[in-house]
Amino acid sequence: MFGVHPFVLMNYDGRYSEVSTLAHELGHALHSHFSDSTQPYAQAAYPIFLAEIASTFNECLLMDHMLKTEKDDQLKLYLLDQYLENLRGTMYRQTLFADFELAMHERAEKGLSLTPEWLNAKYLELTRLYYGHDQEVMKVEEGIANEWSGIPHFFYNFYVYQYATGIMASMALSDAVVKEGAPARDRYLTFLKSGGSDDPLNILKRAGVDMTDPATMTRAFKVFDHFVDEMEKIAARLEKK
């Protein structure tokens, strides 16, 4: 609510998953706090396209901190595995979902029916495409075909792609803050204070992220690749032990 202190209501028992969740939710809280404190009521609310950036930005910084400070290789390997699985599910899987959602709308606009048979076949086709079934990267069983039926986001108005764009933007922003320091931090704080005062793409550009430039996506995947490299190094050290 506008003008109300941004409380975070959650269960917390000190486990790492709870620490990560708290960092995530505090991102939302700070985004709302800075927006409400800076913008008038009519412009304070930020759109969904921006909503998951501050939360995942905090997760990125938390992971960077843990990798720099944690000494236990087994714990670091666990944290990286957990984090990369989350990135895969957000960057990759949500893009697959968006492709499926687009295919549904395109079919409906042609006046064709969305039958269970077509939906199953299209979902299986896209899942196999994304996970390299034909290239034998991994085997995608036919049972995945009806997974779409349990995903409520497909009943929304093109919601899912914003998970992918949000995490890619936050990875670029957090990477800039870690490497550049104060200038990037100040740009990020300006982003938090912008609320819904301008087109979301313009707000992100002022923060240093151009979502119309493929280089932004490439930067995010380079961060992903860096974490995979770290996993391989740690696994090699553990194997020697």
Known catalytic residues are 25
- Output the CA–CA distances (angstroms, integers) from residue 209 to 35, 132, 187, 215, in the order listed: 19, 30, 10, 10
For residues 59, 64, 66, 71, the Cα torsion angle rounded to the nearest 10 degrees is: 160
Nearest to 59 by CA among 18, 103, 1, 106: 18
Nearest to 187 by CA among 204, 170, 171, 200: 204
Look up tokens 């606009």; give the residue: 109
Nearest to 1 by CA among 33, 25, 23, 24: 33
CA distance 207 to 178: 14
